[in-house]
Amino acid sequence: MNWKTGVIACAIFVWCIPGNIATATAVKRVPTDKKVVALTFDDGPSAKFTPIILETLRENHARATFFVIGSRVERLPEVLTEELREHDEIANHSFKHQIMTSLSEQRIYSELSSTQQAIQEATGSEQPLMFRPPRGRINKRILQVAEDHHYKVVMWSIDSGDWANPGVHQIVKTVLSQVKSGDIILFHDQGGSRRQTVTALKQIIPVLRRRGYEFVTVSDLIST
């Protein structure tokens, strides 16, 4: 192995370690015989789109999990109260939504704890149990800090792709062509216009209901 090959091999090795650890310890889906799936929404709360999504869920008797950004929670605490009223789950998605893989343990903890504090101040009680790192970027240090503070790290098994606004038809097709029991499905309720997300949900949820699926929170999915 010459020095060039060595450098490339080393780079691949270092790059691969976090991914391997992430798939070993983060929850991506929950294998189950029950026809249940977990709808998850990242990056909120949004004053405009979260209430519309909550209404869509309510109309379809579906529950979901909202991975919220702490700095947004401070500005829109009333949206979290509405989420809890609908019996949805609130989870931690960091305070500033920055990539966390280069952060120290102390700064990772700060992102987690300041968001937890914002959630508790907004709701009066809610203690989030789940954490999803921004953009799903993870490494061993993030997993360890989350575990040390009793968080379960939750990723997803289906990315609806709604963040790119690819068109309602594409979002619907992406989800319905892949879905199976125990899936955790990624959507967003904030980050630009979420009109396509809302319209797609109005199609996806009734179809999955007709296929026999129930919509549960991530916590409920893990405990099935």
Annotated catalytic sites, by residue?
42, 188
Q: Does 111 bind Zn ion (CB under 5 A)?
A: no
Minimum CB–partner distance for residue 134 and Zn ion (Å):
5
Q: Does 43 bind Zn ion (CB under 5 A)?
A: yes
Q: Return d(Cα 216, Cα 224) in angstroms, integer.
A: 10
Residue 108: exposure state from Cβ atoms within 10 A (0-12, 13-18, ≥19): buried
Nearer to Zn ion, 156 or 215 (CB): 156
Q: Does 189 bind Zn ion (CB under 5 A)?
A: no
Binding range to Zn ion, per CB under 5 A, among 40-48, 172-180, 195-203, 205-213: 40-48
- Residue of 30, 38, 40, 42 interacting with Zn ion (CB under 5 A): 42
CB 74 within 8 A of CB 117: no
Nearer to Zn ion, 92 or 181 (CB): 92
Nearer to Zn ion, 48 or 135 (CB): 135
Three-state DSSP class for residue 206: helix
Binding range to Zn ion, per CB under 5 A, among 43-51, 82-90, 109-117, 207-215: 43-51
| List of residues 6+ apart from 160 with CB closer than 8 A | 171, 174, 175, 185, 186, 187, 197, 200
Binding range to Zn ion, per CB under 5 A, among 15-23, 113-121, 130-138, 140-148: 130-138
Nearer to Zn ion, 97 or 152 (CB): 97
Binding range to Zn ion, per CB under 5 A, among 104-112, 126-134, 146-154, 202-210: 126-134
Q: Return d(Cα 218, Cα 173) in angstroms, integer.
A: 23
| List of residues 6+ apart from 157 with CB closer than 8 A | 28, 29, 182, 183, 184, 185
Nearer to Zn ion, 68 or 216 (CB): 68
Minimum CB–partner distance for residue 214 and Zn ion (Å):
26
187: β partners: 41
Q: Return d(Cα 195, Cα 170) in angstroms, integer.
A: 14
Minimum CB–partner distance for residue 91 and Zn ion (Å):
12
Q: Which two tokens stand for residue 123?
A: 């709701």
Residues contacting Zn ion: total by CB under 5 A: 3
| List of residues 6+ apart from 107 with CB closer than 8 A | 100
Binding residues (CB under 5 A) for Zn ion: these are: 42-43, 134
